[in-house]
Structure 1
Protein backbone atom coordinates (compact mmCIF):
# COMPACT_ATOMS: atom_id res chain seq x y z
CA UNK A 1 0.00 0.00 0.00
CA UNK A 2 1.25 3.48 -0.79
CA UNK A 3 0.81 6.57 1.39
CA UNK A 4 0.52 9.43 -1.06
CA UNK A 5 1.28 13.03 -0.28
CA UNK A 6 -1.51 15.56 -0.69
CA UNK A 7 -1.83 16.98 -4.20
CA UNK A 8 -0.54 20.50 -3.31
CA UNK A 9 2.69 19.02 -1.91
CA UNK A 10 3.15 16.77 -4.94
CA UNK A 11 2.62 19.75 -7.24
CA UNK A 12 5.14 21.81 -5.25
CA UNK A 13 7.71 19.01 -5.59
CA UNK A 14 7.01 18.71 -9.31
CA UNK A 15 7.41 22.49 -9.72
CA UNK A 16 10.72 22.44 -7.82
CA UNK A 17 11.93 19.47 -9.87
CA UNK A 18 10.92 21.17 -13.13
CA UNK A 19 12.67 24.40 -12.04
CA UNK A 20 15.90 22.55 -11.29
CA UNK A 21 15.63 20.58 -14.53
CA UNK A 22 15.09 23.90 -16.34
CA UNK A 23 18.11 25.50 -14.68
CA UNK A 24 20.33 22.59 -15.67
CA UNK A 25 18.76 22.73 -19.11
CA UNK A 26 19.48 26.45 -19.42
CA UNK A 27 23.16 25.80 -18.80
CA UNK A 28 23.03 22.93 -21.30
CA UNK A 29 21.30 25.26 -23.74
CA UNK A 30 24.18 27.74 -23.49
CA UNK A 31 26.70 24.95 -24.06
CA UNK A 32 24.63 23.70 -26.99
CA UNK A 33 24.31 27.11 -28.68
CA UNK A 34 27.97 28.05 -28.20
CA UNK A 35 29.32 24.71 -29.45
CA UNK A 36 26.84 24.64 -32.35
CA UNK A 37 27.81 28.10 -33.54
CA UNK A 38 31.53 27.54 -33.03
CA UNK A 39 31.34 24.36 -35.09
CA UNK A 40 29.05 25.75 -37.79
CA UNK A 41 30.34 29.31 -38.10
CA UNK A 42 33.95 29.26 -36.92
CA UNK A 43 34.97 25.73 -37.92
CA UNK A 44 32.78 25.56 -41.02
CA UNK A 45 31.26 22.16 -40.22
CA UNK A 46 27.89 21.17 -41.66
CA UNK A 47 24.72 21.90 -39.71
CA UNK A 48 23.97 18.32 -38.69
CA UNK A 49 27.56 17.54 -37.74
CA UNK A 50 27.64 20.74 -35.68
CA UNK A 51 24.30 19.84 -34.14
CA UNK A 52 25.39 16.38 -33.08
CA UNK A 53 28.64 17.70 -31.56
CA UNK A 54 26.80 20.49 -29.73
CA UNK A 55 24.11 18.18 -28.40
CA UNK A 56 26.74 15.67 -27.27
CA UNK A 57 28.55 18.36 -25.28
CA UNK A 58 25.27 19.49 -23.72
CA UNK A 59 24.34 15.89 -22.82
CA UNK A 60 27.55 15.56 -20.81
CA UNK A 61 26.97 18.76 -18.85
CA UNK A 62 23.28 17.97 -18.35
CA UNK A 63 23.99 14.51 -16.96
CA UNK A 64 26.27 15.98 -14.31
CA UNK A 65 23.78 18.71 -13.41
CA UNK A 66 20.81 16.40 -13.25
CA UNK A 67 22.63 13.60 -11.40
CA UNK A 68 24.22 15.82 -8.77
CA UNK A 69 21.57 18.52 -8.36
CA UNK A 70 18.11 17.95 -9.88
CA UNK A 71 17.89 14.25 -8.98
CA UNK A 72 20.55 14.06 -6.28
CA UNK A 73 18.21 12.02 -4.07
CA UNK A 74 17.65 9.33 -6.70
CA UNK A 75 18.88 5.81 -6.09
CA UNK A 76 22.66 5.85 -6.52
CA UNK A 77 23.19 2.09 -6.40
CA UNK A 78 22.45 1.49 -10.08
CA UNK A 79 24.63 4.13 -11.75
CA UNK A 80 25.46 2.03 -14.82
CA UNK A 81 21.76 1.49 -15.55
CA UNK A 82 21.02 5.16 -14.89
CA UNK A 83 23.82 6.38 -17.17
CA UNK A 84 22.82 3.95 -19.92
CA UNK A 85 19.19 5.04 -19.84
CA UNK A 86 20.21 8.71 -19.65
CA UNK A 87 22.34 8.23 -22.75
CA UNK A 88 19.58 6.34 -24.57
CA UNK A 89 16.91 8.96 -23.90
CA UNK A 90 19.37 11.79 -24.57
CA UNK A 91 20.14 10.27 -27.96
CA UNK A 92 16.42 10.08 -28.75
CA UNK A 93 16.26 13.76 -27.78
CA UNK A 94 19.23 14.40 -30.06
CA UNK A 95 17.33 12.84 -32.96
CA UNK A 96 14.30 15.03 -32.20
CA UNK A 97 16.46 18.15 -31.90
CA UNK A 98 18.54 17.57 -35.02
CA UNK A 99 15.54 16.19 -36.91
CA UNK A 100 13.94 19.63 -36.65
CA UNK A 101 17.20 21.13 -37.96
CA UNK A 102 17.37 18.66 -40.86
CA UNK A 103 13.75 19.29 -41.78
CA UNK A 104 14.24 23.04 -41.76
CA UNK A 105 17.64 23.11 -43.48
CA UNK A 106 17.28 20.36 -46.05
CA UNK A 107 13.52 19.86 -46.31
CA UNK A 108 12.28 23.43 -46.24
CA UNK A 109 15.43 25.12 -47.54
CA UNK A 110 15.92 27.53 -44.63
CA UNK A 111 19.72 27.59 -44.67
CA UNK A 112 20.75 30.79 -42.91
CA UNK A 113 22.57 30.69 -39.58
CA UNK A 114 19.52 32.26 -37.92
CA UNK A 115 17.15 29.65 -39.40
CA UNK A 116 19.46 26.82 -38.32
CA UNK A 117 19.64 28.20 -34.77
CA UNK A 118 15.86 28.65 -34.53
CA UNK A 119 15.14 25.18 -35.92
CA UNK A 120 17.67 23.41 -33.69
CA UNK A 121 17.87 25.52 -30.56
CA UNK A 122 14.26 26.69 -30.27
CA UNK A 123 11.92 24.24 -32.01
CA UNK A 124 13.99 21.06 -31.81
CA UNK A 125 15.40 21.68 -28.35
CA UNK A 126 11.98 22.66 -27.01
CA UNK A 127 10.38 19.42 -28.19
CA UNK A 128 13.39 17.35 -27.10
CA UNK A 129 13.37 18.97 -23.64
CA UNK A 130 9.76 17.97 -23.03
CA UNK A 131 10.60 14.40 -24.02
CA UNK A 132 13.74 14.36 -21.87
CA UNK A 133 12.00 15.72 -18.77
CA UNK A 134 9.33 13.04 -19.02
CA UNK A 135 11.76 10.20 -19.76
CA UNK A 136 14.38 11.16 -17.16
CA UNK A 137 11.87 11.46 -14.34
CA UNK A 138 9.96 8.35 -15.44
CA UNK A 139 12.77 5.95 -16.33
CA UNK A 140 16.23 7.28 -15.48
CA UNK A 141 16.16 8.94 -12.06
CA UNK A 142 13.45 6.75 -10.56
CA UNK A 143 13.07 6.97 -6.84
CA UNK A 144 14.02 10.65 -6.75
CA UNK A 145 10.57 11.63 -5.54
CA UNK A 146 10.15 8.79 -3.05
CA UNK A 147 13.46 9.24 -1.25
CA UNK A 148 13.71 13.02 -1.41
CA UNK A 149 12.78 13.46 2.22
CA UNK A 150 10.18 15.73 3.80
CA UNK A 151 8.88 18.83 2.09
CA UNK A 152 7.35 21.55 4.24
CA UNK A 153 7.13 19.19 7.22
CA UNK A 154 5.24 16.50 5.29
CA UNK A 155 6.41 12.90 5.44
CA UNK A 156 8.10 11.39 2.42
CA UNK A 157 6.13 8.92 0.34
CA UNK A 158 6.42 5.42 1.74
CA UNK A 159 6.12 2.34 -0.47
CA UNK A 160 5.23 -0.82 1.40
Structure 2
Protein backbone atom coordinates (compact mmCIF):
# COMPACT_ATOMS: atom_id res chain seq x y z
CA UNK A 1 0.00 0.00 0.00
CA UNK A 2 2.74 2.43 0.96
CA UNK A 3 4.70 1.76 -2.22
CA UNK A 4 1.70 2.37 -4.46
CA UNK A 5 1.01 5.68 -2.69
CA UNK A 6 4.60 6.79 -3.23
CA UNK A 7 4.43 5.78 -6.92
CA UNK A 8 1.17 7.71 -7.30
CA UNK A 9 2.68 10.81 -5.68
CA UNK A 10 5.71 10.65 -7.99
CA UNK A 11 3.54 10.22 -11.07
CA UNK A 12 1.12 12.96 -10.00
CA UNK A 13 3.86 15.38 -8.89
CA UNK A 14 3.71 17.68 -11.94
CA UNK A 15 -0.09 17.66 -11.83
CA UNK A 16 -0.13 18.48 -8.10
CA UNK A 17 2.43 21.25 -8.59
CA UNK A 18 0.49 22.79 -11.48
CA UNK A 19 -2.77 22.56 -9.53
CA UNK A 20 -1.13 24.24 -6.51
CA UNK A 21 0.42 27.08 -8.53
CA UNK A 22 -2.89 27.75 -10.30
CA UNK A 23 -4.68 27.62 -6.94
CA UNK A 24 -2.32 30.19 -5.44
CA UNK A 25 -2.90 32.52 -8.40
CA UNK A 26 -6.67 32.08 -8.07
CA UNK A 27 -6.47 32.74 -4.33
CA UNK A 28 -4.47 35.93 -4.97
CA UNK A 29 -7.04 37.10 -7.54
CA UNK A 30 -9.93 36.32 -5.18
CA UNK A 31 -8.31 38.06 -2.21
CA UNK A 32 -7.07 41.07 -4.19
CA UNK A 33 -10.41 41.68 -5.84
CA UNK A 34 -12.29 41.22 -2.56
CA UNK A 35 -10.08 43.78 -0.78
CA UNK A 36 -10.46 46.23 -3.67
CA UNK A 37 -14.24 45.79 -3.91
CA UNK A 38 -14.64 46.21 -0.13
CA UNK A 39 -12.24 49.16 0.10
CA UNK A 40 -12.11 51.71 -2.73
CA UNK A 41 -15.24 50.43 -4.51
CA UNK A 42 -17.23 50.22 -1.28
CA UNK A 43 -19.35 47.13 -1.98
CA UNK A 44 -20.99 45.20 0.84
CA UNK A 45 -19.03 42.10 1.96
CA UNK A 46 -21.34 39.46 0.48
CA UNK A 47 -21.49 41.07 -2.96
CA UNK A 48 -17.74 41.65 -2.92
CA UNK A 49 -17.08 38.04 -1.92
CA UNK A 50 -19.49 36.63 -4.51
CA UNK A 51 -17.78 38.62 -7.28
CA UNK A 52 -14.27 37.79 -6.08
CA UNK A 53 -15.22 34.09 -5.77
CA UNK A 54 -16.39 34.01 -9.40
CA UNK A 55 -13.21 35.78 -10.49
CA UNK A 56 -11.04 33.34 -8.52
CA UNK A 57 -12.90 30.38 -10.05
CA UNK A 58 -12.38 31.85 -13.51
CA UNK A 59 -8.65 32.31 -12.93
CA UNK A 60 -8.39 28.75 -11.56
CA UNK A 61 -10.35 27.23 -14.44
CA UNK A 62 -8.34 29.12 -17.05
CA UNK A 63 -5.02 28.21 -15.44
CA UNK A 64 -5.96 24.55 -15.18
CA UNK A 65 -7.46 24.36 -18.68
CA UNK A 66 -4.51 26.09 -20.36
CA UNK A 67 -1.80 24.80 -18.04
CA UNK A 68 -2.18 21.83 -15.70
CA UNK A 69 -4.72 19.89 -17.80
CA UNK A 70 -3.98 21.26 -21.28
CA UNK A 71 -3.34 17.72 -22.57
CA UNK A 72 -6.49 16.23 -21.03
CA UNK A 73 -9.09 14.91 -23.48
CA UNK A 74 -11.77 17.44 -24.38
CA UNK A 75 -14.97 15.42 -24.01
CA UNK A 76 -17.00 18.43 -22.85
CA UNK A 77 -17.44 21.97 -24.14
CA UNK A 78 -15.43 24.63 -22.30
CA UNK A 79 -18.66 26.16 -20.98
CA UNK A 80 -19.83 22.82 -19.57
CA UNK A 81 -16.37 22.22 -18.09
CA UNK A 82 -16.49 25.64 -16.43
CA UNK A 83 -19.96 24.93 -15.01
CA UNK A 84 -18.78 21.66 -13.46
CA UNK A 85 -15.59 23.33 -12.24
CA UNK A 86 -17.64 26.10 -10.62
CA UNK A 87 -19.88 23.51 -8.92
CA UNK A 88 -16.82 21.67 -7.58
CA UNK A 89 -15.50 24.96 -6.18
CA UNK A 90 -18.84 25.77 -4.57
CA UNK A 91 -18.74 22.31 -2.95
CA UNK A 92 -15.24 23.13 -1.67
CA UNK A 93 -16.48 26.42 -0.21
CA UNK A 94 -19.31 24.55 1.51
CA UNK A 95 -16.80 22.12 3.04
CA UNK A 96 -14.91 25.08 4.50
CA UNK A 97 -18.11 26.57 5.88
CA UNK A 98 -19.16 23.21 7.33
CA UNK A 99 -15.82 22.83 9.14
CA UNK A 100 -16.19 26.32 10.57
CA UNK A 101 -19.82 25.73 11.60
CA UNK A 102 -19.05 22.40 13.30
CA UNK A 103 -16.12 23.89 15.20
CA UNK A 104 -17.76 27.18 16.15
CA UNK A 105 -21.35 26.14 16.82
CA UNK A 106 -21.13 22.39 17.35
CA UNK A 107 -17.98 22.16 19.43
CA UNK A 108 -18.17 25.63 20.97
CA UNK A 109 -14.66 26.62 19.85
CA UNK A 110 -15.42 30.30 19.30
CA UNK A 111 -12.07 32.10 19.44
CA UNK A 112 -10.67 33.81 16.35
CA UNK A 113 -7.80 31.32 16.38
CA UNK A 114 -10.19 28.34 16.45
CA UNK A 115 -12.25 29.85 13.62
CA UNK A 116 -9.11 30.40 11.55
CA UNK A 117 -7.83 26.88 12.16
CA UNK A 118 -11.15 25.24 11.38
CA UNK A 119 -12.14 27.38 8.38
CA UNK A 120 -8.87 28.41 6.79
CA UNK A 121 -6.78 25.46 7.99
CA UNK A 122 -8.71 22.20 8.23
CA UNK A 123 -11.52 23.37 5.98
CA UNK A 124 -9.14 24.65 3.31
CA UNK A 125 -7.15 21.39 3.37
CA UNK A 126 -10.28 19.24 2.98
CA UNK A 127 -11.71 21.59 0.34
CA UNK A 128 -8.45 21.47 -1.62
CA UNK A 129 -8.53 17.67 -1.66
CA UNK A 130 -12.13 17.79 -2.90
CA UNK A 131 -11.28 20.40 -5.54
CA UNK A 132 -8.26 18.43 -6.77
CA UNK A 133 -10.30 15.23 -7.06
CA UNK A 134 -13.24 17.00 -8.70
CA UNK A 135 -11.07 18.93 -11.12
CA UNK A 136 -9.15 15.90 -12.33
CA UNK A 137 -12.03 13.41 -12.43
CA UNK A 138 -15.15 15.44 -13.19
CA UNK A 139 -13.91 18.46 -15.12
CA UNK A 140 -10.85 17.41 -17.11
CA UNK A 141 -11.38 13.65 -16.82
CA UNK A 142 -7.71 12.84 -16.49
CA UNK A 143 -6.90 9.38 -17.87
CA UNK A 144 -4.83 8.67 -14.77
CA UNK A 145 -7.75 9.62 -12.53
CA UNK A 146 -10.04 7.16 -14.31
CA UNK A 147 -7.54 4.31 -14.44
CA UNK A 148 -7.95 1.59 -11.81
CA UNK A 149 -5.31 1.57 -9.09
CA UNK A 150 -3.55 -1.45 -7.74
* More helix, by proportion: 2
- Report the Cα offset of residue 67 of structure 1: 0.5
- Report the Cα offset of residue 140 of structure 1: 1.3
8 Å CA contact 1:55–1:94 kept in 2: the answer is: no
- Unmatched tracts of structure 1, length 5 or more: 1-5, 111-115, 147-156
Matching residue of 2:131: 132
- Unmatched tracts of structure 2, length 5 or more: none
Matching residue of 1:30: 28
For normalisation by structure 1, the TM-score amounts to 0.64
For normalisation by structure 2, the TM-score amounts to 0.68
Q: Which of 59, 68, 74 is matched with 2:57 structurally?
A: 59
Q: Using the TM superposition, name which of 136-145 and 13-22 deviates more.
A: 136-145
Q: Secondary structure at the match of 2:57?
A: helix
Cα distance 1:54–1:126, how it changes in 2: closer, same or farther (>3 A)? farther
Matching residue of 1:73: 71
Q: What is the distance in 2 between the residues matched to 1:20 and 1:87?
A: 18
8 Å CA contact 1:21–1:133 kept in 2: the answer is: yes
Bigger radius of gyration among the two: 1
- Report the Cα offset of residue 62 of structure 1: 0.7
Higher relative contact order (CA 8 A, sep 6+): 1
- Report the Cα offset of residue 56 of structure 1: 0.8
